[in-house]
Structure 1
Amino acid sequence: MFFCYNLFFFFFFFFFFFFFGIYLFEYNLVFFFEWLFFFFNSFSMSLIFFFDWISCFFMSFVFLISGCVLFYSLGYMNGDLNLIRFYYLVFMFILSMVFFILMPDFICLLLGWDGLGLVSYCLVIYYQNSVSLYSGLITLLMNRVGDVFLILCLGLFMNFGSFHYIFYINFFNNDFIILVYLVLFASFTKSAQFPFCVWLPSAMAAPTPVSSLVHSSTLVTSGVYLIIRFNYFILFCDTYFLMVISLITMVLSGFAACLENDLKKIIAFSTLSQLGFMFFTLSLGSLTLCFIHLLIHALFKSLLFLCSGIFIHCFLGSQDIRFMGGLVKQCPYVSSAFFVSLICLCGFPFFSGFYSKDFILEFFFLFNYSIFFFFFFFFFVGVTFIYSLRLIYYLFSSNSFFFPYINFCYSFFMNISLLFLYFSCLFVGSFMFWLFEDDFFFVLSFDFKLIPLLFFFFFFLVYDVLSFLYFYFGLIYFYFFSSMWFLSFYSSGFFLNRFFSFCYFSYSLVDSGWMEYFVSGGLVGFFRWLGFFFDSFTLNILKFYFFFFFFFF
């Protein structure tokens, strides 16, 4: 009964914030609440709640996905001894997300930002084994780097006497250039952009409901949301740098997803690819399109994770797609939800992902960028088709090699939570663009409209080329692209091994070497000699007394 009340709470706030956001958008209103709790000369610290249509829409989708994930967890984690602790951690994560979304103040923003990083670390190490610990430490350290950038922004804003960055929009000058790059790098760490993209595939060691909530729709999109909030600062600068970083991230994640065999890691790489797609949209300057794609992506990606959790649950914890197969016959309801979320990911016409993706691709035609950016952007958007078709083949078309051990049990809680997200993936995209239809109207020729479709067929040829290359350069191709250009090694083992080797060398040379020699041998010997010298004074005190008496008195 307690969990039913919680579910009602989350869905009530979803509808409340969603319709409140529509009201704010239609009437172009903003609500601003401030509580001043410290004031000294010209320096003030206050707690601010900032309600506009962006924050309300994002809050509504966070509450929808959180309610579905918590309801799903009742079936997925049934019998877990630490279920109550898991729920408390998820509630703390949602509270941190609320602080992060609603507060346009650096101190309060840092409160939510730090809360997201620390609670996500606790959720990643939930299973308490060595793999979870390694993944949690990688996640924590990468997020700490982003915290350093935000603390530097905090120190920069201390010169202006206030931490409310929203008040400085109309006073942009060259002093804010450093701020822009600090915010960009902070968002790169949280949204797993190159070169900070290693922690997201590693964080798949967390339970699947955590991956659905934290690593697909809320935590990883917080970096994109931060740039949307700082858009007036970011767009004053050259966004070419942001475009290059997003393309590199799409290259890394696209090829890695085509070669990975772990189901959750494939979905994590597709999240990386979509995050690079969002950052590329931000570099074009279209904030509203990026925000709509962020919301729609959160829905179908959380559904994708929840369906994969049921598959993993049925296969007794195995996540290797090579052992799965024939799932259409075994669990048709979950397979249909998984298939719908996959074609939303590909941008199939008239599903939710199509409305945002197609508009972004057409929006890119309006810019005069080089053929290099044009080809690579469309190429790595199209790589999504390759790993989606690969997933469909392995899960639905191939034979099952695990069949005698499978238990396809259906849980009421898991099915109901899938139902909400299933219908959201079907209808929310069209509803969002009916809502924003006055903002976007592109006029393109028929040839440009056909280009995305031509790229779709082009990738079937590309897949044959890739298979040909894999036949001749198998090991190099596999290890180079599946390890994200060896970035996982360079981000962890390469530097850590050298750091610990240097620490051991310093310990051997300094602590156990010269310091031991000087302290134990030299310094102790010197004090021993000094003690003997003063002992000679003490033992011969009568001689000295007579000497000084005759010569000085």
Structure 2
Amino acid sequence: MFFCLNLFFFFFFFFFFFFFLGLYFYEYDTYFFFEWFFFFLNSCGFSLIFYFDWISCTFMSFVFLISGCVLFYSLGYMSGDLNLVRFYFIVYLFIFSMVLFILMPDLLCLLLGWDGLGLVSFCLVIYYNNISSLISGILTLYMNRLGDVFLLLSIGWCLNYGSWHYMFYISFFDDDYYLIIYLVLLSSFTKSAQFPFSIWLPAAMSAPTPVSSLVHSSTLVTSGIYLLIRFNYFLIYFDTYFLMVISLITMFLSGLGACLENDLKKIIAFSTLSQLGFMFFVLSFGSLILCYLHLLIHAIFKSLLFLCCGVFIHSFIGNQDIRFMGGVVNQFPYISTMFFVSLICLCGFPFFSGFYSKDFILELIFLKEMSFTFFFFFCLSVSLTIFYSFRLIYYLFYSSSYYFPFLSVNYNFYMVGSLFTLFTFCVFGGSFIFWLFEDEFFFIVEFEFSVLPLFFFFFFFFFSFIFKISWFYLNYFYFYFFGSMFFMNFFSSNIFLGRFFGFVNLSYKLIDFGWLEYFTFGLLKLNFNWLSYFFDKFILNLFKIYMLSFFFFFFFFFFF
């Protein structure tokens, strides 16, 4: 325990160190570039690169902050776990992979951290040894490996240029380079769970709640966005219409899924999907700084949201269904306050941390020229965020708990301490970050445009009451259709993975339990038994062997 406490303060030290280092780099517009060269092979240089600028340092500082809070929280949440040491070592391996991914602007070296993130994510998803965790882990692993395939193809194509340092080719464009940009886009879609690779993120909620807070809300899923921010100048000269369409589809489908889901962790996973699509939509307009600052702020309040959910799940004896919860505001006033603040940060309530980045982004969208269809679905997706947030507040705070009259209400020091740390950054972090880093944007938008998402929310809210949104629950097809992101889980898992494992099962029955085993292993076993019996009888008769060897050697030396 003392080792973990020391590591907690160690992570906090690195948070402040890298944050102020990034602030120094930002103010003086400088960076450090370290290269360790190994060798040349076929005119391709192999080297190890570390790149320190204000983006990498601030992102790494927030990774250390959230990691320290989650590890401190885990001392209370997983105190009775028998494999706690293994859990901590896997989390440390994840943090190490994340640091490698952040600091290496080279596709070949970046693959170390990129592949490590996918592997450690699989190990954390299957941490609870049951069949549900195994299925979710296999789906997570296959989706991440698909992204690794796209990244490996881009690495192979970079052999044409003699180097994998993509930052050296910012001013170099030809028709072949568009293939690398498409491959990097697809790999970032798989890691950040964009359409049509988005179903693995809700499935990954089988992992422990601290893992969901660290890995599947703030660090791993944002690695695809961070990769595209690193490829920023390539995206400016690239047709981003494709990126805009994919991000809008992800926002809309995940918003509908969150409105119809009853699992608490899956609702927040759909919320993370919606925010990731929101960031990709901002990236399609070329607003890299706004997207990056929203990424940092979103990491803070989404981690707080997951950790508050962990307290509720821990107290409701492992239950995650929001229909069985209720009245938590009376039983957990402090945790409920933090949960409510993180939710209104998600909605972009004025003067909380989520407001500063989200309001700037909304004003940017209002000033941009786009089709009315895109504008309508974007505002509708933003209003869906407000809708499922208030749905969560209604179920958890104002409904009654009929099913669990006996709750384990226990305020653990480690859990509350980490929550309070994140809560402080959640309240003051947005204004502090924009005060320090944002000095390029100043928008003036009319009042009618500023309240447009609120109008969409009330329109959808009253629409749901008029047409009785319980109709979705009564009609199972529509409920499953919208709740599963248009049957995304079936098309992602049942078709591909189901067919694959069905073929493996068929091969197992035909080969291992079929005639092929008899004709291969059975006949070989029979022949080897006969040969071993023959040699056994041959070797034990020593006098016969002596006489035969004597006549053999005599005949050989006499005639040859």
TM-score normalised according to structure 1 size: 0.90
Question: For 1:99-498, what aligned pairs fall within 5 Å after superposition?
Answer: 99-465=100-466, 467-468=468-469, 470=471, 474-498=475-499
Asked whether the equivalents of residues 10 and 64 of structure 1 are also in contact (C-alpha less than 8 Å), the reply is: yes
Contact 2:382 2:453 in 1 (8 A): no
Amino acid at match of 2:234: F
Letter in 2 for 1:36: F
Code of the aligned partner of 2:33:
F
**Paired residue for 1:540?**
none
Change (3 A) 1:200 1:28: same
User: CA 1:363–1:82 in 2, change beyond 3 Å: closer, same or farther?
Assistant: same
The 3 A distance-change label for structure 1 pair 209 and 471 is: closer
- Supply the distance in 2 between the matched residues of 1:361 and 1:518 (Cα, whole angstroms): 69
CA distance in 2, matches of 1:424, 1:519: 66
Shift of 1:437: 3.8
User: The residue matched to 2:411 in structure 1 has which SS?
Assistant: coil
CA distance in 1 between partners of 2:212 and 2:181 (Å): 30
- Count residues with an aligned counterpart: 520
**Matched AA of 2:343:** L
- The percentage of counterpart residues that share the same residue type is 68
Secondary structure at the aligned position of 1:467 is classed as coil
1:445-490 CA-partner distances (Å, limit 9, x unpaired): 2332232332333332233256357269722221111122111011
- Relative to structure 1, is the Cα distance of residues 323 and 248 closer, same or farther in structure 2, using a 3 angstrom cutoff? same
- Equivalent positions of 1:522-533 (< 5 A) are none
Amino acid at match of 1:373: F
Larger mean CA deviation between 225-234 and 177-186 belongs to: 225-234
Query: In the alignment, what sits opposite 1:8?
Result: 9
Kindly provide the amino acid, as one letter, of the partner of residue 332 in structure 1: P
Q: Secondary structure of the residue that 1:323 maps to in structure 2?
A: coil
> 2:313 is paired with a residue of what secondary structure?
helix
Instruction: Write the deviation string for residues 21-59 of structure 1: whole angstroms up to 9, x where unpaired.
Output: 111111111110111122346321111110111101100
Q: 1:395 to 1:118 in 2, by over 3 A?
A: same
Distance 1:128 1:516 in 2: 32
Return the letter of the residue paired with 1:323.
F
The code of the aligned residue for 1:353 comes to: G
What's the CA shift for 1:504?
Answer: 6.8
Q: Measure, in 2, the Cα distance between the counterparts of 1:82 and 1:514.
A: 43
What amino acid does structure 2 have at the position aligned with 1:240? Y
2:49 equivalent to 1:53: no
Deviation at 1:497, TM superposition (A): 3.5
1:85 paired residue number:
86
* TM-score (ref. length: structure 2): 0.89
* Cα separation, partners in 2 of 1:38 and 1:404, compared to 1, 3 Å: same
In the alignment, which residue of structure 2 is the partner of 1:549?
none
SS in 2 for 1:322: coil
SS in 2 for 1:321: coil
SS in structure 1 at match of 2:50: strand
Pairing of 1:35-54 with structure 2 (within 5 A): 35-40=36-41, 42-54=43-55
State whether residues 222 and 276 of structure 2, in contact with CA within 8 Å, keep that contact through their aligned partners in structure 1. Answer: yes
Are 1:69 and 1:209, in contact at CA under 8 Å, matched by a contact in 2? yes
Deviations 1:355-378 (A, max 9, x none): 111111100112111110111000
Contact 1:386 1:463 in 2 (8 A): no
CA distance in 1, matches of 2:110, 2:343: 34
* Preserved CA contact (<8 Å) 1:176 1:233: no
Is 2:258–2:388's contact at 8 Å kept on the other side of the alignment?
yes
Gap change, CA 1:497 and 1:87, over 3 Å in 2: closer
Structure 1 counterpart of 2:529? none
Deviations 1:109-137 (A, max 9, x none): 00000000001111111111111111111
**Counterpart of 1:400 in 2: which secondary structure?**
coil
Q: Which residue of 1 aligns with 2:26?
A: 25
Query: Cα RMSD between the aligned structures?
Result: 2.2
Q: Secondary structure at the match of 1:115?
A: helix
Aligned-partner residue type, residue 247 of structure 2: S
Structure 2 alignment gaps of length 5 or more: 522-560
Give the match for residue 528 of structure 1. Answer: none
The answer (yes or no) to whether the contact 1:105–1:163 under 8 Å persists in 2 is yes
Tell me whether 510-519 or 40-49 shows the greater mean CA deviation: 510-519
1:236 positional shift: 1.3
Aligned partners of 2:506 and 2:416: how far apart in 1?
57
Aligned to 2:35: 34
Structure 1 match to 2:558: none
Matched residues in 2 for 1:7 and 1:477: separation? 47
How many Å apart are 1:250 and its aligned residue? 1.1
Whole-angstrom distance in 2 between the partners of 1:255 and 1:303: 23
User: How far apart, in 2, do the equivalents of 1:340 and 1:85 lie?
Assistant: 33
Distance 1:380 1:400 in 2: 30
Deviates more, 1:58-67 or 1:490-499: 490-499
Q: Distance in 2 between matches of 1:216 and 1:511?
A: 43
Q: CA deviation at 1:307?
A: 0.3
